[in-house]
Amino acid sequence: MKAATQEKAKTISLPVEGMTCASCVLRVEKALKEVEGVQDAAVNLASEKARITYDPSIASVQALRKAVEDKGYTLVVPDESPGAGKERPGGTPDTVSASKGEAFKKLRSDTILSAALALPIMVLSMVSMTDWYMRQAPLSMETTNRILFLLTSVVMFVPGRRFFKSLWTNVRHRTADMNTLVAVGTGAAYLYSTLVVLFPEVLGSFGNAHEVYFDTAATIITLILFGKLMEASAKRRASDAIRKLLALQPNVARVLRDGIETEIPIADVAVGDVILVRPGERIPVDGVITRGFSVIDESMMTGESLPVEKKAGERVVGGTVNLNGSMEFRTTAIGKDSVLARIISLVEDAQGSKAPVQGLADKIASVFVPAVIAIAAITFVLWYTVGGLPFTPALINFIAVLIIACPCALGLATPTAIMVGTGVGARMGILIRDAESLERTREVRTVVFDKTGTLTMGKPEVTGVIPLNGTTASHLLTMAASAERLSEHPLARAIVRSAERDGIQLEEAGAFQSITGLGVAADIHGTPVLVGNLPFMKEYAIRSGPEVEAEVMRAAARGETSVVVAIDGTVAGVIAMGDTLRPTSPEAIRALQAMGLETVLLTGDNETAAKVIAAGAGIDTVIAGVLPEQKAGHIKALQSRGKIVAMVGDGINDAPALAQADIGIAIGTGTDVAMETAGITLMNGDLSGVARAFRLSGRTLRTIKQNLFWAFIYNVIGIPLAALGMLNPMLAAFAMAFSSVSVVSNSLRLKRLGG
């Protein structure tokens, strides 16, 4: 395999048809990884999807499909012809959903037909063994067996056809899976019984010609189909999160073009279009309000139940609900670039990823089916040759071993819990990038917080304008705001907002330069203006003086941040700003500390200001005065002491630290860069989501371990019991059918966390 470079790599998620157990998953993964140009492939049995990272210049989608088909499975590739199969926001073609729906209906109808036939087969088989039937029945035993043969043949080759079709495919590809076990087991019972009825002379001395096992074959097929139906239904509930997210986007949008209001399909909306939304309607796409005021329900996006007020200039997100007030907004993102599409993509990726804890199950699954077939064969030979059992009881033990073994439970143990856990997280406003992030979160012992925009509201406001050296407060604020108007830093925005509230007309700034972590420099009508901290002034050889330093210290003692303003080489004054704690920050910190986690504040602010904020939040450890590029180094230093570290941040300057941490947790109200770097994103900016993410991780990992335990113990106990002749094949079929259902049902208990 030729590895794709990170720059060229493309990741796609495609449905896979024909998988039934963990063995199938491993074969599909191996086939994909053997394609030249494929960097990685992860296949999920619960979602029935393959997530493939490959180099498009080396590998093609058609090559991927052929590799999977060569192993007997189908990789569903969307139709790329013009106008074919428009995709939903998350990139899942509607045709795939329709195909899954049809498959579910077919499974349901097969199960009903099989049950309708298996019931009379079972009753007739039981009644025919009674003395009354032997003496008074109008039908001879030969006729009775022929009726059982006809009814069972329908069960085997109509609803049960799927198992034998899969067996034939496996034989052609020299592989084996769960369907192989079912087909061989039921096929052996059916074939033996058919020979008894139609060709008794073929069996010779193998047994009594009246001993038929049509009821065993038909009941096993029915029970396993019923189990698969329940499993499919449970898996549909496990993937509710994706379906609910897909349902959020309306099919049409009301667009204002050339002054005319037109209703068009959502796929025809373009960036820049003006969209009209009336009260009670769902917002179709992302945008910025240009006219109107309303209250928006963003609960499906953020997990926050309280509606949010929105006015002109503020962002709205597609999929949220406009509760009251008509408004117009200009479209800023559509399709895969929208917030809804990115959320769906993140959830799908997480649900399709593989947790490290799955490794042991994968190793066992790789040899499971061949090992079970070998054990069944040995069981038959030993009972027949050494144990002295007649042919038919030895055959029954052979069938029981095949039927009791369940590789499905092993394959579903981890992915179903991941699907439900990440789905619950999405409903709570917690987006988890992948299963590894979910598992790794459980191991974290130290949580490091950025200050501005993370612990605090991130919108500092001007609390004091102190003019010096003969400058007026109005002139000081005018020059500072004019210099800062091109900066995106929160302190800069606070200064600009303060000037605008005072009705100050800002000037055009030239030669603008921003020095990260220090300040900005600009020319205002030829006059050089510097706005920044004391080290920034020293960089430009501006003498601050004791009065300036005293004002800076006084602001710091109040927990406020201040900037020094120099005009034409002379300090003109100091502007103080304060940033308040998020209301949920102290409670969130207490919740984490109650879990035994260490909390640390890591900030670029001076130590005095940082300690004021830390005291309010309840954080004991403070690392202050850290430049953005130094944050990752401090995370690394904590890791070097053996700590498993989570970093919580929101800004571009937090991205390196988020990447360095064992788990990065981004505040979703922050920047896209932070969200792309982090393993977990809190969509509503509420820090209590950090504690919820840790609890969700713990519960999900506990559920996975429970699932794996029951999947392993089921096979460890069941297979020996069957081999020892202590398990009836029909009871084994019942147990096999419900083993997978129990694993999925246990995973569904995680939904209680979501309320």
Coil, helix or strand at residue 194 = helix
pLDDT tens, position by position, 705-717:
898 888 888 888 8
- Please compute the mean of the pLDDT values over residues 386-400 and round it to a whole number: 87
pLDDT band at 86 (very low <50, low <70, confident <90, very high): very low
pLDDT surpasses 90 at 110: yes
Q: What integer best gives the mean pLDDT of the chain? A: 82
Distance of CA 617 to the CA centre of its chain: 31
**What residue has token string 């990752």?**
632
**233-267: b (≥16 Cβ within 10 Å) or e:** ebbebbbbbbeebbebbbeebbbeeeeeeeeeebe
Is-catalytic flag, 502?
Answer: no
pLDDT surpasses 90 at 587: yes
- Please compute the mean of the pLDDT values over residues 73-89 and round it to a whole number: 61
pLDDT band at 720 (very low <50, low <70, confident <90, very high): very high
Q: Which of 615, 631, 608, 551 is nearest to 581 (CA)?
A: 615
pLDDT surpasses 80 at 385: yes
Position 82 scores a pLDDT of 42
Q: Residues with Cβ < 8 Å from 371, sequence gap 6 or more?
A: none
**In terms of residues, how long is the chain?**
755
pLDDT tens, position by position, 546-577:
888 888 888 877 777 789 999 888 898 999 88
Position 128 scores a pLDDT of 77
Coil, helix or strand at residue 9 = coil
d(CA 533, CA 576): 11
Give me the percent of the chain exceeding a pLDDT of 90. 20
What token pair was written down for 217? Answer: 């074959």
pLDDT band at 452 (very low <50, low <70, confident <90, very high): confident
What token pair was written down for 569? Answer: 């080489």
Specify the DSSP element, H or E, that contains 530: strand 527-532
pLDDT surpasses 80 at 379: yes
pLDDT tens, position by position, 184-234:
888 888 988 898 888 877 665 555 445 788 888 888 888 888 877 877 776
**Residue of higher predicted confidence among 133 and 741:** 741
pLDDT band at 242 (very low <50, low <70, confident <90, very high): low
pLDDT surpasses 50 at 88: no
- Please compute the mean of the pLDDT values over residues 254-271 and round it to a whole number: 87
Q: Do the beta carbons of residue 623 and residue 603 sit within 8 Å?
A: yes
Position 669 scores a pLDDT of 57
Other C-beta atoms lying within 10 Å of the C-beta of residue 323: 14
Position 7 scores a pLDDT of 52
Q: Do the beta carbons of residue 466 and residue 573 sit within 8 Å?
A: yes
Q: What is the largest CA-CA distance in the chain?
A: 122
- Please compute the mean of the pLDDT values over residues 2-19 and round it to a whole number: 72
d(CA 363, CA 181): 19
- ∠ CA 733-734-737, nearest 5°, is 80
- Please compute the mean of the pLDDT values over residues 438-447 and round it to a whole number: 89
Give first-to-last CA distance, the chain, whole Å.
46
Task: For residue 77, count CB atoms less than 10 angstroms from its CB and return exposed for 0-12, middle for 13-18, buried for 19 or more.
Answer: middle
**What residue has token string 């079912």?**
182
Catalytic residue chosen out of the listed positions 273, 297, 450, 579: 450
Strand ranges, E, within 68-165: 74-75
pLDDT surpasses 80 at 685: no
- Please compute the mean of the pLDDT values over residues 609-629 and round it to a whole number: 85
Kindly tell me the number of DSSP H helices and DSSP E strands found in the chain.
27, 26
Position 209 scores a pLDDT of 46
d(CA 178, CA 21): 6
Position 734 scores a pLDDT of 78
Specify the DSSP element, H or E, that contains 731: helix 729-748
Alpha carbon dihedral 228, 232, 238, 244, in 10-degree steps, equals -170
pLDDT surpasses 90 at 395: no
pLDDT surpasses 90 at 645: yes
Which DSSP symbol is given to 21? S
pLDDT tens, position by position, 517-532:
788 899 988 889 999 8
